[in-house]
Chain A
Amino acid sequence: MSARDDTFMSVGIVMLVHTALHRAEQVARHWTAAGCPVVIHVDAKVPRKTHAAFVQSLSDDLMIHFSRRHRCEWGTWGIVAATQSACELLLGLYPQVRHVYLASGSCLPLRPVEELIAYLAERPRTDFIESATTADVPWTVGGLDEERFTLRFPFSWKKHRYLFDRYVELQRRLRIKRRIPNGIVPHMGSQWWCLTRRTLTAILQDPDRPLYDRYFRRVWIPDESYFQTLARLYSENIESRSLTLSKFDFQGKPHIFYDDHLQLLRRSDCFVARKIWPHAERLYQAFLSDNAGQANRAEPNPGKIDRIFARAVDRRTKGRPGLYMQSRFPNWGWENGLTSNPYSVFHGFAELFEDFETWLARATGARVHGHLFAPERAEFAGGERMINGALSDGAATRDYAPESFLANLIWNTRGERQCFQFGPRDNQKIAEFFARDPNAQVSVITGAWAIPLFKSNRNFADLRKEAARLQKIEKDFLDVLHWQSTKARVRVWSMAEFVEAPMEPIQTIIDEITPAGHPRLTEAPRMVDLRGFGQFLQNLKNQGMHPYLMGDFPVENSRADRSRPKRKPYLVR
Chain B
Amino acid sequence: MGAWQSYRLRLQRKRWLVRAFRKRRELKRIADRTAQIRTDDLLLLCTQRNERVRLPYFLRYYRSLGINHFLFVDNDSDDGSLDYLAKQPDVSVWHTGASYKRSRFGVDWLNWLARKYGHGHWCLTVDPDEFLIYPFCDTRPLRALTDWLDASSIRSFPAMLLDMYPKGRLNEQGYEPGQDPIEIACWFDSGNYTIRRNKRFGNLWIQGGPRARVFFPDQPEKAPALNKIPLVKWHRNYVYVSSTHMLLPRGLNLVYDEWGGEKASGLLLHAKFLNTFPAKAKEELERKQHYAASVEYRAYAEKLEENPDLWCKWSEKYINWRQLEILGLMSKGNWA
User: In the bound complex, do residue B265 and residue A327 qualify as a contact, i.e. CB atoms below 8 Å apart?
Assistant: yes
Residue from the list B141, B147, B256, B313 in contact with A386, Cβ < 8 A:
B313
- Shortest C-beta distance, A565 to chain B (Å), equals 51
Residue of B nearest to A404 (CB): B194
Residue from the list A318, A319, A326, A336 in contact with B206, Cβ < 8 A:
A326
CB neighbours (8 Å) of A405 from chain B are 194
Kindly identify, within residues 382 to 413 of chain A, every residue whose CB is under 8 Å from any CB belonging to chain B: 386-392, 394, 396-397, 400-401, 404-405, 408, 411-412
User: In the bound complex, do residue A326 and residue B158 qualify as a contact, i.e. CB atoms below 8 Å apart?
Assistant: yes
CB neighbours (8 Å) of A289 from chain B are none
Interface-centre pick from B143, B192, B259, B313 (highest chain A CB count, 10 A): B192
CA gap between A390 and B313 in the complex, in Å: 8
Kindly identify, within residues 191 to 212 of chain B, every residue whose CB is under 8 Å from any CB belonging to chain A: 191-197, 204, 206, 210, 212
User: In the bound complex, do residue A318 and residue B193 qualify as a contact, i.e. CB atoms below 8 Å apart?
Assistant: no
Interface residues of B: mostly helix, strand, loop or mixed? loop
Residue of A nearest to B310 (CB): A390
User: In the bound complex, do residue B259 and residue A334 qualify as a contact, i.e. CB atoms below 8 Å apart?
Assistant: yes
User: In the bound complex, do residue B140 and residue A389 qualify as a contact, i.e. CB atoms below 8 Å apart?
Assistant: no
A71 touches B (CB below 8 Å): no
Among B70-78, B175-183, B292-300, B327-335, the stretch that binds chain A is B327-335
Interface-centre pick from A258, A259, A311, A329 (highest chain B CB count, 10 A): A329
CA gap between A255 and B329 in the complex, in Å: 24
User: In the bound complex, do residue A326 and residue B333 qualify as a contact, i.e. CB atoms below 8 Å apart?
Assistant: no
User: In the bound complex, do residue B144 and residue A258 qualify as a contact, i.e. CB atoms below 8 Å apart?
Assistant: yes
User: In the bound complex, do residue A259 and residue B332 qualify as a contact, i.e. CB atoms below 8 Å apart?
Assistant: no
CB neighbours (8 Å) of A387 from chain B are 314
- Shortest C-beta distance, B48 to chain A (Å), equals 25
CA gap between A251 and B153 in the complex, in Å: 11
Given A279-B143, A327-B262, A328-B261, are A394 and B217 neighbors across the interface (CB < 8 Å)?
Answer: yes
Residue from the list A260, A277, A404 in contact with B193, Cβ < 8 A:
A404
Kindly identify, within residues 253 to 299 of chain B, every residue whose CB is under 8 Å from any CB belonging to chain A: 255-265
- Shortest C-beta distance, A521 to chain B (Å), equals 32
CB neighbours (8 Å) of A401 from chain B are 194-196, 220
User: In the bound complex, do residue B260 and residue A326 qualify as a contact, i.e. CB atoms below 8 Å apart?
Assistant: no
- Shortest C-beta distance, A63 to chain B (Å), equals 31
Given A308-B336, A411-B191, are A325 and B257 neighbors across the interface (CB < 8 Å)?
Answer: no
CB neighbours (8 Å) of A317 from chain B are 260-261, 334
User: In the bound complex, do residue A330 and residue B260 qualify as a contact, i.e. CB atoms below 8 Å apart?
Assistant: yes
Given A311-B336, A389-B192, A391-B192, are A319 and B257 neighbors across the interface (CB < 8 Å)?
Answer: yes
User: In the bound complex, do residue A325 and residue B218 qualify as a contact, i.e. CB atoms below 8 Å apart?
Assistant: no
User: In the bound complex, do residue A390 and residue B259 qualify as a contact, i.e. CB atoms below 8 Å apart?
Assistant: no
- Shortest C-beta distance, B244 to chain A (Å), equals 13
Kindly identify, within residues 9 to 39 of chain B, every residue whose CB is under 8 Å from any CB belonging to chain A: none
Residue from the list A255, A325, A329 in contact with B330, Cβ < 8 A:
A325
CB neighbours (8 Å) of B172 from chain A are none
Interface-centre pick from B158, B264, B331 (highest chain A CB count, 10 A): B331
Interface-centre pick from A249, A309, A319, A390 (highest chain B CB count, 10 A): A390
A22 touches B (CB below 8 Å): no
User: In the bound complex, do residue B191 and residue A258 qualify as a contact, i.e. CB atoms below 8 Å apart?
Assistant: no
User: In the bound complex, do residue A309 and residue B336 qualify as a contact, i.e. CB atoms below 8 Å apart?
Assistant: yes
Kindly identify, within residues 429 to 471 of chain A, every residue whose CB is under 8 Å from any CB belonging to chain B: none
CA gap between A313 and B263 in the complex, in Å: 10
CA gap between A336 and B262 in the complex, in Å: 12
- Shortest C-beta distance, B143 to chain A (Å), equals 6
Residue from the list B189, B256, B312, B328 in contact with A411, Cβ < 8 A:
B328
- Shortest C-beta distance, A56 to chain B (Å), equals 23
Residue of A nearest to B217 (CB): A394
Residue of A nearest to B315 (CB): A390
B64 touches A (CB below 8 Å): no
User: In the bound complex, do residue B263 and residue A328 qualify as a contact, i.e. CB atoms below 8 Å apart?
Assistant: yes
Residue from the list B139, B206, B212, B328 in contact with A320, Cβ < 8 A:
B328
Residue from the list B218, B261, B265, B332 in contact with A326, Cβ < 8 A:
B265
User: In the bound complex, do residue A312 and residue B336 qualify as a contact, i.e. CB atoms below 8 Å apart?
Assistant: yes
- Shortest C-beta distance, A330 to chain B (Å), equals 5
CA gap between A330 and B141 in the complex, in Å: 30
CA gap between A308 and B204 in the complex, in Å: 29
CA gap between A431 and B123 in the complex, in Å: 44
Kindly identify, within residues 147 to 168 of chain B, every residue whose CB is under 8 Å from any CB belonging to chain A: 147-148, 151-152, 158-160
Given A396-B220, A408-B192, are A390 and B333 neighbors across the interface (CB < 8 Å)?
Answer: no
CA gap between A160 and B68 in the complex, in Å: 34
B103 touches A (CB below 8 Å): no
B136 touches A (CB below 8 Å): yes
User: In the bound complex, do residue A389 and residue B217 qualify as a contact, i.e. CB atoms below 8 Å apart?
Assistant: no
CA gap between A325 and B336 in the complex, in Å: 19
User: In the bound complex, do residue B265 and residue A329 qualify as a contact, i.e. CB atoms below 8 Å apart?
Assistant: no
- Shortest C-beta distance, A274 to chain B (Å), equals 13
User: In the bound complex, do residue B221 and residue A390 qualify as a contact, i.e. CB atoms below 8 Å apart?
Assistant: no
CA gap between A390 and B163 in the complex, in Å: 13
User: In the bound complex, do residue B328 and residue A250 qualify as a contact, i.e. CB atoms below 8 Å apart?
Assistant: no
User: In the bound complex, do residue B264 and residue A327 qualify as a contact, i.e. CB atoms below 8 Å apart?
Assistant: yes
B92 touches A (CB below 8 Å): no
User: In the bound complex, do residue A408 and residue B191 qualify as a contact, i.e. CB atoms below 8 Å apart?
Assistant: yes
User: In the bound complex, do residue A260 and residue B192 qualify as a contact, i.e. CB atoms below 8 Å apart?
Assistant: no
Interface-centre pick from B140, B212, B259, B263 (highest chain A CB count, 10 A): B259
CB neighbours (8 Å) of A316 from chain B are 257, 261-263, 333-334
B219 touches A (CB below 8 Å): yes
* B contacts, CB < 8 Å to A: 136, 139-141, 143-144, 147-148, 151-152, 158-160, 189-197, 204, 206, 210, 212-213, 217-221, 227, 255-265, 312-315, 328-336
The 10 closest A-B pairs by CB, nearest first: A389-B191, A316-B334, A312-B336, A327-B265, A401-B194, A336-B260, A412-B191, A260-B139, A400-B220, A390-B189
Sample of 20 A–B contacts (CB below 8 Å): A258-B140, A277-B144, A312-B332, A312-B333, A315-B333, A316-B262, A319-B257, A319-B331, A320-B328, A325-B330, A326-B159, A327-B255, A329-B197, A329-B258, A330-B258, A386-B314, A389-B314, A391-B191, A394-B218, A401-B220
13 additional A-B pairs beyond A277-B144, A412-B191, beta carbons within 8 Å, are A249-B334, A260-B136, A279-B141, A312-B334, A316-B257, A316-B333, A317-B261, A329-B258, A330-B260, A334-B259, A389-B192, A390-B213, A392-B192
* A contacts, CB < 8 Å to B: 249-251, 253, 255-256, 258-260, 277, 279, 308-309, 311-313, 315-320, 323-331, 334-336, 386-392, 394, 396-397, 400-401, 404-405, 408, 411-412
